[in-house]
Structure 1
């Protein structure tokens, strides 16, 4: 049954959406662009200049997640202790500085070390942002708000691929190769926005001067009521880390992230291979624009699918159906007989992955709260980061072994099929009610 929101509820959520979510989305945009910039650099001179094989490139892309995994859970617990404003600002400035050093990398060993350090610097950002939103947004509004936040990820490629190509085309600027110019160009915004974050983000609703007293009271009361109603409200972080439901969610997330990063790191290389496979010839900018094609429909699909989830309440099939579509489409893509057909099928895969992810993150908040939420969300994202290492490394190694990308993409499909199976089997068993949906559109607060 649909609950009609009160005027104070509507104005509070609207202010949160307009004041916080676009800024967090900008942070997410910069974050995803920085971690995937290597995917644009590889086929545009870096692989050749550093003498990398496909396996070495995949290892360099994936070792980022080793550093991330080591510090992810401690970082999220630190955010819970010290507050989002300080911790997220620290993370952004740190990764911006490390990212800037990629401009001067000289060999594979230096590349490995910098990717590892970048992971350490970025550790905790994404689960920290998810945790931050869960501390501000009641459950029945969460799918809608997460969709607005998550749309930054596909838009990173829609905007970022042409932007990266533009920077790469500035070959010779400051005497640098184009891919080095690109690394410089994408790192500086992280440092600048990180500094702004320290002054802009409020830690709690009580710190938000743009909320009225009535809005703050309503939000604090609503979030406190939800915490009391969660069956694991007393979970400490150690219990959350041994909760079977958290591990089930972690395995589902693993498959999605395996597909996400296999595409993110290797799609530019696959497009570069169209010249050999189909006899086509594209400029750097054209390859960047082609790379962006699947992600614009993915952003639209994300919004529409999340809107349906908001209207109905997030159901397990909101996760399972996209996982199944991704499992079937990704290995099919490389059997196509033209660049257009290949990109069309990859677009289906991108739509599937991005449609599921924001809705997926509404499940942990159904039964986790406090330090347990910080640890549980970090553990789930850690498993995603294991996939983030495995996907590029296995993809590159199997490509070197088989001479093509068909078998690596079949492996991607297999992991997404596992996510689909677990979504249909496990998610219905997760404890916690489906949030009553709010179907009213958001309006910008005065």
Structure 2
């Protein structure tokens, strides 16, 4: 499909940008709060928690990882509840439950109680990210979804950069308080992050708006215009509906989820192992960095990856080729993995790690493809399946990569394994793009975007990425 045929109108571009500025800072901020809560134990552990509770490395790893088990087990089953309750109400309920559990976690007397609370915290938070992803699909036409998804993913990525700084500041401040002996800084960290989730209920209640007609930041003519543009895009997509149970039995979300798993595996590995690689520069290259310099160097691959993800998202929005960009990014990341094996100095090694991070952070481009294949309640459940498989990568990537490093005695084998996994992600990215093209051809009854054929004369321009089926009168409720 020619590029000019998919270029949004000036009115659509203006209103979509306005929605991006109003919707995505809140969505991204809520995502940042969620991931800070997830990582809170990882920060608290070495800052006094492990010593106070007598946690071994194995016990600490179990407490960290059991969150993901609860998250993965409950993410898909909550799909029906989320689509019936509505985005705003469901997110507010999730914030209330997980914020309360996080606060209680701060008072854990032993590892057993902490493990149970972490599992419950994962179960409570399970529906949050897919609900936000689904919310994005209801607010943006197909050409703007890749950028919106990447903005959300980039906001989450900031947790790995801001997290250590926030955690260190809170723990140090807590340890300086008069009652630090009975309530040390690491407990204060867990408590304040729980309070932050509870406080976030207020902006969520005001900002997670169901429809353009509820948006006070749009004038009445803009409300009508944007609602019409969203409805026209949904009608143009014309994706068939299926029930949640049918979606769970469908092979497509599971295959797409495997691709998302592959790219997320690379992303989480970079976040977890880059500090270790940087600390190894002294042994490997004879360089010396203080802790502050090492922290800054460790953040470079993540920042490069985030910048790249925003760039490819804009390209995906203009062309509709999210899958093709996933393929290119995965191949780039695989090359970066292999480059880490032969890099001869710290600069080249950081460049190689940045290439892997670029691939990992491009994984979120799978989400706009999901919304081109599924709609309505099936879109939410498909997103939940894909996201849960991506989240599972957070659990297994440190374990598998660490095991490979332990067995081989170096990080080379670990990165070679990631290169192979990114190869799988590239293949699935291509398959998913083909699925999206095929769905669009079938639903439109006309040549698809992969045919290189312009729409017939007089036909409406097809925006390259899609919106789910029409919502109910309340805007964010969909029946299954």
**Fold shared by both chains (TM-score > 0.5):** yes
* 1:360 and 2:363 are equivalent in the alignment: no
- TM-score by length of structure 1 reads 0.85
Distance 1:269 1:44 in 2: 18
CA drift of 1:375 comes to 1.1
Cα deviation digits, residues 63-102 of structure 1 (max 9, x gap): 2121112221233332221111111122223222333344
> Is the contact made by 1:40 and 1:161 (CA closer than 8 Å) also made in structure 2?
yes
Going from structure 1 to structure 2, the CA distance change for 1:420 and 1:397 (only over 3 Å counts) comes to: same
Other-structure match for 1:442: none
* 1:220 and 2:220 are equivalent in the alignment: no
Higher alpha-carbon deviation: 388-397 or 398-407: 398-407
Going from structure 1 to structure 2, the CA distance change for 1:266 and 1:190 (only over 3 Å counts) comes to: farther
> Is the contact made by 1:331 and 1:412 (CA closer than 8 Å) also made in structure 2?
no
> Is the contact made by 1:327 and 1:413 (CA closer than 8 Å) also made in structure 2?
yes
Going from structure 1 to structure 2, the CA distance change for 1:147 and 1:206 (only over 3 Å counts) comes to: same
Distance 2:200 2:293 in 1: 29
Cα deviation digits, residues 49-74 of structure 1 (max 9, x gap): 55555554444333212111222123
Distance 1:25 1:365 in 2: 19
CA drift of 1:267 comes to 4.1
Other-structure match for 2:331: 324
Other-structure match for 2:132: 129
> Is the contact made by 2:102 and 2:194 (CA closer than 8 Å) also made in structure 1?
yes
Other-structure match for 2:458: none
Select the residue among 66, 70, 78 that pairs with 1:67: 70
Other-structure match for 2:38: 35
* 1:142 and 2:149 are equivalent in the alignment: no
Going from structure 1 to structure 2, the CA distance change for 1:272 and 1:167 (only over 3 Å counts) comes to: farther
> Is the contact made by 1:54 and 1:399 (CA closer than 8 Å) also made in structure 2?
no
* 1:24 and 2:27 are equivalent in the alignment: yes
Going from structure 1 to structure 2, the CA distance change for 1:279 and 1:93 (only over 3 Å counts) comes to: farther
Other-structure match for 1:443: none
Higher alpha-carbon deviation: 298-307 or 394-403: 394-403
Going from structure 1 to structure 2, the CA distance change for 1:315 and 1:394 (only over 3 Å counts) comes to: closer
Select the residue among 302, 312, 326 that pairs with 2:309: 302
Higher alpha-carbon deviation: 421-430 or 41-50: 41-50
CA drift of 1:340 comes to 5.3
> Is the contact made by 1:162 and 1:292 (CA closer than 8 Å) also made in structure 2?
no
Q: How does 1:20-419 map to 2 (within 5 A)?
A: 20-47=23-50, 50=53, 52=55, 55-105=58-108, 107-170=110-173, 172-174=175-177, 175=180, 177-230=184-237, 232-268=239-275, 271=278, 280=288, 282-283=290-291, 285-330=292-337, 332-333=339-340, 341-354=348-361, 356-399=362-405, 405-419=411-425
Distance 1:276 1:264 in 2: 21
> Is the contact made by 2:72 and 2:391 (CA closer than 8 Å) also made in structure 1?
yes
Distance 1:51 1:394 in 2: 25
SS at match of 2:200: helix
Distance 1:53 1:334 in 2: 32
CA drift of 1:107 comes to 4.7
CA drift of 1:401 comes to 5.2
Going from structure 1 to structure 2, the CA distance change for 1:303 and 1:238 (only over 3 Å counts) comes to: same
CA drift of 1:280 comes to 4.7
CA drift of 1:339 comes to 5.6
- TM-score by length of structure 2 reads 0.79
Select the residue among 413, 418, 427 that pairs with 1:421: 427
Count of residue pairs the alignment pairs up:
436
> Is the contact made by 2:253 and 2:386 (CA closer than 8 Å) also made in structure 1?
yes
Q: CA RMSD in A?
A: 3.2
> Is the contact made by 1:59 and 1:389 (CA closer than 8 Å) also made in structure 2?
no
Distance 1:325 1:53 in 2: 38
Distance 2:173 2:295 in 1: 14
SS at match of 2:80: helix
SS at match of 2:66: helix
- Gap regions ≥5 residues in structure 2: 441-447, 450-461, 466-480
* 1:15 and 2:22 are equivalent in the alignment: no
> Is the contact made by 1:230 and 1:367 (CA closer than 8 Å) also made in structure 2?
no
Distance 2:283 2:296 in 1: 19
Distance 2:97 2:342 in 1: 42
